[in-house]
């Protein structure tokens, strides 16, 4: 088989494995084997840019193309549904349908109402060609490249399953609870604002301009509506079962009801059972099952007459506020937390709620001892929504006041102009801030120092062994009396022995014992595996690449993607330290806020000191030197313009240099050619034409480097 054929066969196989894994939850090969095939495909596709295909399984990992979304008209308008909140409304809907159908028998398909954002997918000849958001119902944002990263959406339907040549399928894009929790944990560690619920997170993600971010967050999609001129079945239910065979994720919770009682039973069941679903739901959707009958009933201006949504009651509970405490996070932000009498809410016992900031406390006019209503916002973080004033009496305590000093280190708090949060400015010494920064530093996507969990970091900081991440690189292990002690490398074995071994003949030692943490030794080997592994992980982290070191520093707002872009652009820490705001903003994806934050970081003595100590410790503070890979572009001056699909601008810049060329910023007669992406500016285009400079597209360019 030649390489081109191998590409086609790998694509086909990977599409199928993807479907088995993400849709059927029944993979037949190991993750490792899957990754191997994916890597082989990636490698072959790189060798054959002429075979590029936006629907290849490799495209799921996303590109860093910056997109401003293009608006595209929907073929069929995307309507919303009428909402109901009680059984009377459900009964009225049922009656309206009965009358509209003039006494014919009818079935109602009951299904879950998924709480995400709606998406319309268009398929032609079995291939995904377009994904649009709802937008204003008439036209939506084209989010196709982001949607391609969603693993449960098939890019290519399996052959022989009888899909129509052209059809549209609609559904809901969601962030499953698990991914949502992970995302928020990560954001907390990065010092970013948390998403209030999975819907907001899903919508923020789908509108992200960087599809790599989308790929990382692991969105999912449930499909619930098939449209087109030649859809296969007479009933909505059958169509959806068929769509499942084409590889779409269709909920198993669909059920055909023949009476109002059936419908109520469905509602009652899912009102409870929904709490154990992997995704958020906010109600039930009732749809007339027969497509013919749907057509008879028709539409109002806003919604179909053949369907309705029944919304679950937001669950709410009344309980007593016992105390408000204040928590200090990694960035020094202070969050007020309401501690309440435990109460059952939406299946879990709730006793704490975030009060967010001082303004919220004031708005509620909250007093200790108040009876408060708690709700789960989008079912996640409990919120106090109001106070039951009728229950306020002489036993109710004082008005809740925001604290003036840090509860951890006593430093006066500050509130910056235009921000709602209070901060503890003592970032160098405030313990939770130190711990939080170290936790982030060692985390998997940063320095990946395994064996240093949150509790152990706590111990190290409390013992006085770690004040900053740089201290990690000063540790060594000393054997002492059947144990191993981790200490600062200046502490010798003798000094330690003197401090810790009982000495019958001398007075109590006067010098304080050095900071240390003990690990017990294995009786057979005499070593401590935990201690050895930890030191090895610290040692290995010296090889972690500069972009991850930069991320590990925990510069506010500099997440993984921004760190990578900055590292690729500036190449080393010195260049980054010296960069002006304007220079920072020239980097793709770096705006005002990140640029300011980077400048603030390097002008703060403590932070800059950390980077210098890490540099001394031998961490990677620059990207590897560019190595000459070829001379295909020897002596050429090349202008890069527009946006690209396969690589970022910085990557192209580097490729030009690696192949002997020079990246120049403006077009002149001397320009060898323009590497032209999409949406090249009209003035540049005109200039190129006037001067007769050739335009080379991405694929041609990649071909030149072969
Ligand atoms: S059917 C014409 N089915 O709810 C009927 N919608 O308020 C089109 N939704 O915009 C919608 N789960 O985003 C339908 N099983 C389901 C749904 C569902 C969630 C959303 C959808 C729609 C909104 C209506």
Q: pLDDT, tens digit, for every residue of 662-688?
A: 998 889 989 999 999 888 878 888 889
- What is the chain's mean pLDDT, rounded? 89
Last residue of a domain, one of 279, 311, 343: 311
Q: Which tokens sit at 327? A: 């928590």
Average pLDDT over residues 179-190: 85
Average pLDDT over residues 584-591: 88
Give 58's pLDDT tier (boundaries 50, 70, 90): confident
Look at residue 63 and tell me whether its pLDDT is greater than 50.
no
Task: Choose the residue to mutate in 199, 224, 251, 301 for probing ligand 1, maximizing ligand atoms within 8 Å of C-beta.
Answer: 224
Q: Classify residue 451: in a domain, yes or no.
A: yes
Nearest to 110 by CA among 301, 340, 266: 266
Give the total number of structural domains in the chain. 5
How far apart, in whole angstroms, are the C-alpha atoms of residue 683 and residue 662? 22
Atom of ligand 1 nearest to the CA of 251: 15
Q: Which tokens sit at 102? A: 């003039």
Q: How far is the CA of 160 from the centre of ligand 1 (A)?
A: 29
DSSP category for residue 24: S
Task: Residue 561: give its domain's CATH number.
Answer: 1.10.150.20
* Pocket, ligand 1, Cβ cutoff 6 A: 79-81, 111, 113-114, 118, 172, 224-225, 285, 304, 307, 309
Look at residue 506 and tell me whether its pLDDT is greater than 60.
no
Last residue of a domain, one of 582, 616, 650: 616
How far apart, in whole angstroms, are the C-alpha atoms of residue 505 and residue 224? 83
Q: Classify residue 382: in a domain, yes or no.
A: no
Look at residue 399 and tell me whether its pLDDT is greater than 80.
yes
Crossing angle (nearest 10°) for helices 177-190 and 198-206: 80
Q: How far is the CA of 209 from the centre of ligand 1 (A)?
A: 25
Q: Classify residue 330: in a domain, yes or no.
A: no
Give 65's pLDDT tier (boundaries 50, 70, 90): very low
User: What's the pLDDT at 310?
Assistant: 94
Examine the domain organization and report whether 480 and 570 are in the same domain: no
Examine the domain organization and report whether 113 and 242 are in the same domain: yes
Which range marks the domain in which residue 195 is found? 72-311
Look at residue 239 and tell me whether its pLDDT is greater than 80.
yes
* First CA to last CA distance, the chain: 21
Using DSSP bridges, classify how beta strands 371-376 and 220-227 pair: parallel, antiparallel or unpaired: unpaired
Q: How far is the CA of 426 from the centre of ligand 1 (A)?
A: 49
Q: Whose CA is nearest to atom 9 of ligand 1?
A: 113
Q: Whose CA is nearest to atom 10 of ligand 1?
A: 80
How far apart, in whole angstroms, are the C-alpha atoms of residue 111 and residue 254? 5
Q: Whose CA is nearest to atom 17 of ligand 1?
A: 113
Atom of ligand 1 nearest to the CA of 225: 1
Q: How far is the CA of 629 from the centre of ligand 1 (A)?
A: 53
Look at residue 405 and tell me whether its pLDDT is greater than 50.
yes
pLDDT tens per residue across span 419-446? 888 999 998 889 999 999 999 999 988 9
Q: How far is the CA of 146 from the centre of ligand 1 (A)?
A: 21
CB atoms closer than 10 angstroms to residue 47 = 14
Q: Whose CA is nearest to atom 13 of ligand 1?
A: 118
Examine the domain organization and report whether 559 and 500 are in the same domain: no
pLDDT tens per residue across span 507-545? 555 667 889 999 999 989 999 999 999 999 999 999 999
Is 113 among the catalytic positions?
yes
Nearest to 315 by CA among 364, 281, 359, 356: 281
Examine the domain organization and report whether 564 and 681 are in the same domain: no
Task: Residue 24: give its domain's CATH number.
Answer: 1.10.287.610
Atom of ligand 1 nearest to the CA of 115: 19
Examine the domain organization and report whether 605 and 576 are in the same domain: yes
How many angstroms separate the Cα of 636 from the Cα of each of 121, 657, 669, 676, 687?
Answer: 44, 10, 12, 15, 19
Look at residue 154 and tell me whether its pLDDT is greater than 60.
yes
Q: Which tokens sit at 179? A: 């991914």
Q: How far is the CA of 80 from the centre of ligand 1 (A)?
A: 7
Q: How far is the CA of 111 from the centre of ligand 1 (A)?
A: 10
Task: Residue 645: give its domain's CATH number.
Answer: 3.40.50.10190
Q: Residue 642, SS3?
A: coil
Average pLDDT over residues 197-217: 85
Task: Choose the residue to mutate in 81, 120, 134, 291 for probing ligand 1, maximizing ligand atoms within 8 Å of C-beta.
Answer: 81
Last residue of a domain, one of 311, 346, 365: 311
Examine the domain organization and report whether 146 and 276 are in the same domain: yes
Q: How far is the CA of 113 from the centre of ligand 1 (A)?
A: 6
Contact between residue 549 and residue 621 where contact means Cβ atoms under 8 Å apart: yes
Examine the domain organization and report whether 259 and 115 are in the same domain: yes
Task: Choose the residue to mutate in 108, 113, 134 for probing ligand 1, maximizing ligand atoms within 8 Å of C-beta.
Answer: 113
- φ, ψ dihedrals at 378, nearest 5°: 50, 30
DSSP category for residue 229: T
Contact between residue 603 and residue 595 where contact means Cβ atoms under 8 Å apart: no
Examine the domain organization and report whether 39 and 109 are in the same domain: no
Atom of ligand 1 nearest to the CA of 118: 13
Q: Classify residue 388: in a domain, yes or no.
A: no
Examine the domain organization and report whether 514 and 597 are in the same domain: no
Average pLDDT over residues 260-277: 93
Examine the domain organization and report whether 216 and 266 are in the same domain: yes
Task: Residue 98: give its domain's CATH number.
Answer: 3.30.470.30
Give 378's pLDDT tier (boundaries 50, 70, 90): low
Pick 29 or 77 by higher pLDDT. Answer: 77
Task: Choose the residue to mutate in 309, 311, 312, 378 for probing ligand 1, maximizing ligand atoms within 8 Å of C-beta.
Answer: 309
pTM value surpassing 0.75: no
Q: Whose CA is nearest to atom 12 of ligand 1?
A: 113
Q: Classify residue 321: in a domain, yes or no.
A: no
User: What's the pLDDT at 507?
Assistant: 58
Atom of ligand 1 nearest to the CA of 303: 2
HSE-CB for 324 with a 13 A CA cutoff: 24
Highest mean pLDDT, choosing among 17-31, 35-49, 493-507, 575-589: 575-589
Catalytic residue (choose from 12, 33, 113, 564): 113
Average pLDDT over residues 561-577: 93
Q: Classify residue 326: in a domain, yes or no.
A: no
Q: Classify residue 107: in a domain, yes or no.
A: yes
pLDDT tens per residue across span 603-628? 988 788 899 999 999 999 999 876 77
Q: How far is the CA of 383 from the centre of ligand 1 (A)?
A: 27
b or e along 201-235 (b: 16 or more beta carbons within 10 Å of the residue's beta carbon)? bbbebbebebbbbbbbbbbbbbbbbbebeebbeeb
Q: Whose CA is nearest to atom 16 of ligand 1?
A: 113
Q: Whose CA is nearest to atom 21 of ligand 1?
A: 118
Examine the domain organization and report whether 548 and 529 are in the same domain: no
Highest mean pLDDT, choosing among 63-67, 398-402, 508-512: 398-402
- Facing residues of 133 across strands? 119
Atom of ligand 1 nearest to the CA of 307: 5
Element (H, E) at 17: helix 3-22
Q: Classify residue 234: in a domain, yes or no.
A: yes
Examine the domain organization and report whether 154 and 216 are in the same domain: yes
Atom of ligand 1 nearest to the CA of 111: 15
Q: What angle do CA 602, 607, 612 make, to 5 degrees?
A: 85
Look at residue 465 and tell me whether its pLDDT is greater than 90.
yes
């Amino acid at each position: 088989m030649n390489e081109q054929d191998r590409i086609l066969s790998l694509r086909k196989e990977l599409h199928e494995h993807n479907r088995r894994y993400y849709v059927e939850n029944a993979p037949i090969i190991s993750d490792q084997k899957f990754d191997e095939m994916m890597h082989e495909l990636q490698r072959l596709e790189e060798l054959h840019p002429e075979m590029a295909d936006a629907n290849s399984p490799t495209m799921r990992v996303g590109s860093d193309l910056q997109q401003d979304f293009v608006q595209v008209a929907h073929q069929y308008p995307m309507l919303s549904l009428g909402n109901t909140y009680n059984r009377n409304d459900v009964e009225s809907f049922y009656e309206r349908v009965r009358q509209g159908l003039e006494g014919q028998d009818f079935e109602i398909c009951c299904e879950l109402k998924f709480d995400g954002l709606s998406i319309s997918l268009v398929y032609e000849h079995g291939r995904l060609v377009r994904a649009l958001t709802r937008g204003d119902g008439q036209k939506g944002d084209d989010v196709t490249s982001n949607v391609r990263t969603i693993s449960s959406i098939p890019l290519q339907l399996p052959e022989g399953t009888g899909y129509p040549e052209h059809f549209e399928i609609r559904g809901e894009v969601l962030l499953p609870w698990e991914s949502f929790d992970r995302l928020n944990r990560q954001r907390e560690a990065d010092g970013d604002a948390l998403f209030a619920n999975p819907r907001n997170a899903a919508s923020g993600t789908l509108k992200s301009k960087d599809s790599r971010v989308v790929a990382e967050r692991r969105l999912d999609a449930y499909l619930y509506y098939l449209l087109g001129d030649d859809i296969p079945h007479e009933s909505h239910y059958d169509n959806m079962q068929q769509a499942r065979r084409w590889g779409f994720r269709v909920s198993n919770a669909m059920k055909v009801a023949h009476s109002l009682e059936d419908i109520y039973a469905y509602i009652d069941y899912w009102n409870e059972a929904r709490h154990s679903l992997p995704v958020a739901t906010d109600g039930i959707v009732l749809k007339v099952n027969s497509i013919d009958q749907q057509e008879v009933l028709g539409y109002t201006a806003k919604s179909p007459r053949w369907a309705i949504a029944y919304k679950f009651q937001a669950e709410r509970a009344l309980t007593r506020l016992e105390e408000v405490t204040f928590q200090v996070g990694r960035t020094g932000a202070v969050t007020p937390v309401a501690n309440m009498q435990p109460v059952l809410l939406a299946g879990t016992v709730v006793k704490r709620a975030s009060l967010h900031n001082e303004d919220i406390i004031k708005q509620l006019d909250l007093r200790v001892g108040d009876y408060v209503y708690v709700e789960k916002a989008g079912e996640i973080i409990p919120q106090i929504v109001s106070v039951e004033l009728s229950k306020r009496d002489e036993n109710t305590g004082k008005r809740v006041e925001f604290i003036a000093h840090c509860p951890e280190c006593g430093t006066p708090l500050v509130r910056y102009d235009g921000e709602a949060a209070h901060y503890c400015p003592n970032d160098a010494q405030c313990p939770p801030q130190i711990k939080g920064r170290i936790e982030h530093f060692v985390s998997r996507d940063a320095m990946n120092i395994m064996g240093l969990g949150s509790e152990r970091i706590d111990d190290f900081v409390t013992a006085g062994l770690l004040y900053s991440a740089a201290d990690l690189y000063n540790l060594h292990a000393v054997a002492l009396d059947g144990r191993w002690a981790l200490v600062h490398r200046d502490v010798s074995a003798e000094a330690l022995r003197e401090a810790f071994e009982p000495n019958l003949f001398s007075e109590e030692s006067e010098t304080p014992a050095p900071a240390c943490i003990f690990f017990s030794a294995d009786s057979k080997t005499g070593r401590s595996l935990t201690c050895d592994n930890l030191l090895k992980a610290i040692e290995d982290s010296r090889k972690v690449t500069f972009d991850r070191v930069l991320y590990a520093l925990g510069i506010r707002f500099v997440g993984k993607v921004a760190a990578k872009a900055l590292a690729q652009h500036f190449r080393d820490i010195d260049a980054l330290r010296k960069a002006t705001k304007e220079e920072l903003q020239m980097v793709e994806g770096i705006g005002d806020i990140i640029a300011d934050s980077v400048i603030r970081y390097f002008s703060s003595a403590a932070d800059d000191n950390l980077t210098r100590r890490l540099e001394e410790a031998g961490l990677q503070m620059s990207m590897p030197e560019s190595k000459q890979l070829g001379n295909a572009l020897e002596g050429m001056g090349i202008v890069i313009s527009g946006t690209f699909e396969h690589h970022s601008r910085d990557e192209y810049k580097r490729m030009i240099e690696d192949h002997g060329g020079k990246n120049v910023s403006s077009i002149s007669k001397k320009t060898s050619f323009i590497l032209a992406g999409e949406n090249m500016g009209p003035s540049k285009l005109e200039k190129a034409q006037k001067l007769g400079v050739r335009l080379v597209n991405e694929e041609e360019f990649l071909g030149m480097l072969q």
